[in-house]
Amino acid sequence: MHNKFQAAFSIAALLVVGIACSMSTANMSSFKVGKEEGVKQESANFKTGETIHGIATISNAPGKTTVKFHLSADEVAGMTKGQKVPATDVDVVVPDGGGTATYEATIPPGAPTGKYILNADMHDEAGERKDGKTVAITIAGSE
């Protein structure tokens, strides 16, 4: 009887550990940036007049999530480090289970050149930030 109890307990413990290992939390599994829709080739160097495309992939989301994108200054003359670039905020809702959130912003002619950060922050249904990634990009004047 004692051995049967130990065997049952061991099996139950293995099941709990197995279930815990197979469950993972919602996360942003990737964030790619490029010059074309679908980001087939990643790029971090842009010129004024070009369009920045970003794709954030959300995995294992138990509910609806929102990806909040924005561009901020890193090393840009006339801007403070971390200052958000106006009109670059985009919120994308991703359905239960996960999926992709896409970002698109055209760099206006005459925009300040320098180094920027494109931010993608993942928020749960309650609005709490759960994960995020950034990509450093450089914007140069058009040729």
Helix (H) or strand (E) holding 72: strand 65-76
Query: In which residue are the tokens 């058009």 written?
Result: 142
Reported pTM = 0.80
pLDDT in tens, the chain (143 residues): 555 545 445 554 444 444 343 345 889 999 999 999 999 999 999 999 999 999 999 999 888 999 999 999 999 999 999 999 998 999 999 988 889 999 999 998 888 999 999 999 999 989 999 999 999 999 998 75
Residue 141, helix vs strand vs coil: coil
Q: How far apart are CA 34 and CA 77, in angstroms?
A: 24
Residue 12, helix vs strand vs coil: helix
Indicate the DSSP class of residue 37. T
Query: In which residue are the tokens 């293995």 written?
Result: 14
26-140 topology per CATH: Immunoglobulin-like (2.60.40)
